[in-house]
């Protein structure tokens, strides 16, 4: 077995994502298994680790169908998506007042939520996803629990930078080697076999959990723990990140747990961005 890399080019996530792992990459990479076959990431989010490792055989998944649609469009229609983003970026930056920019943001959010309601997954909805992500308050993707709509407020940015052309194409190249799934985390790694590696980065216990309609409940954390144990018994190497809480430590007491310092780049409270998390492994 050997970790298979596409290149050593640094690739940045194309969306901001609460709980993103860019800050923890050094600690995570230090704890990776020496070798593995297929790479699985059932909660891909911004995909910081996936894009850093650039695996040649991967399965990535997320419950957020608009996010996975974005990755599909980047993989399959990168040039067309870039053209859409350029048009949206130029339009936003041509507006002179914050009121005009806010009106454009709110109009785009309404259209995006109509796509959510109708379950439409298109090239343009992918462009809207990035536009809203890069112009909303604090880069925080938040879905209302009642209406199941994206409801983050306007971020008041003077100018928008929606993408880097070379980086977007580099992400597309990495995604070319990935199977992109939408759905439950357990379904995403059903085919994992001995010698494969699964990285779990679920919504954290006891923290912000409205990345998706319905949130991530305590029952979901128990299901995740049971899956972690099942994969362990099947010889699958697993790593899991979560909040540094007594509950999580008790849940995974029979696995290796490392506490690490972290500074969160996205948080509703800008003064509360330092803390500790845990990295848990079964190898």
Separation of alpha carbons 6 and 39, rounded Å: 13
pLDDT reading at 279 higher than 50: yes
Check residue 4 and give its pLDDT.
44
Helix (H) or strand (E) run with residue 237 in it:
strand 237-243
Separation of alpha carbons 107 and 128, rounded Å: 11
Which residue ranges form the domains of the chain, and what is each CATH number? 25-64+166-281 (3.40.50.150), 70-163 (1.10.1020.10)
Largest CA distance in the chain: 60
Check residue 262 and give its pLDDT.
87
Check residue 242 and give its pLDDT.
96
Q: What is the pLDDT of residues 219-238, one digit of tens each?
A: 999 999 999 999 999 999 99
Strand order in the sheet with 39-41: 178-182, 58-62, 39-41, 197-200, 237-243, 274-281, 256-263
pTM higher than 0.85: yes
Residues 6+ apart with CB under 8 A from 12: 51, 164, 167
Q: What is the pLDDT of residues 165-179, one digit of tens each?
A: 899 999 999 999 999
As a whole number, mean pLDDT of residues 125-152 equals 92
DSSP label of 202: P
Separation of alpha carbons 232 and 220, rounded Å: 18
Q: What is the pLDDT of residues 182-198, one digit of tens each?
A: 999 999 999 999 999 99
């Amino acid at each position: 077995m050997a970790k298979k890399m596409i290149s050593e080019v640094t690739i940045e996530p194309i969306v901001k994502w609460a709980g993103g792992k860019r800050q923890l990459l050094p600690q995570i990479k230090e704890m990776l298994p020496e070798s593995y076959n297929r790479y699985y990431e059932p909660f891909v989010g911004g995909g910081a680790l996936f894009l850093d490792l650039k695996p040649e055989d991967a399965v990535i998944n997320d419950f957020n169908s608009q996010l996975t649609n974005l990755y599909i469009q980047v993989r399959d229609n990168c040039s067309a998506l870039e053209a859409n983003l350029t048009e949206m970026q130029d339009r936003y930056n041509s507006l002179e007042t914050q009121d005009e920019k806010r009106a454009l943001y709110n109009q785009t959010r309404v259209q995006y939520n109509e796509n959510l309601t109708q379950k439409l997954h298109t090239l343009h909805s992918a462009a809207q996803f990035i536009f809203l992500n890069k112009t909303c308050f604090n880069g925080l993707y938040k879905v209302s629990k009642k209406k199941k709509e994206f409801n983050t407020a306007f971020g008041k940015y003077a100018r928008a930078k929606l993408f880097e052309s070379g980086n977007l194409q580099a992400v597309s190249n990495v995604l070319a080697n990935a199977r992109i799934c939408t759905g439950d985390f357990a379904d995403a790694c059903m085919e994992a076999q001995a010698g494969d590696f699964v990285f779990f980065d679920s919504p954290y216990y006891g923290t912000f959990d409205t990345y998706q309609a319905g949130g991530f409940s305590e029952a979901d954390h128990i299901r995740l723990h049971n899956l972690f144990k099942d994969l362990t018994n099947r010889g699958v190497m697993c790593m899991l990140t979560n909040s540094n809480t007594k509950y999580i430590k008790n849940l995974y007491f029979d696995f290796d747990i490392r506490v690490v310092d972290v500074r969160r780049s996205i948080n509703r409270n800008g003064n509360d961005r330092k803390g500790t998390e845990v990295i848990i492994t079964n190898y």
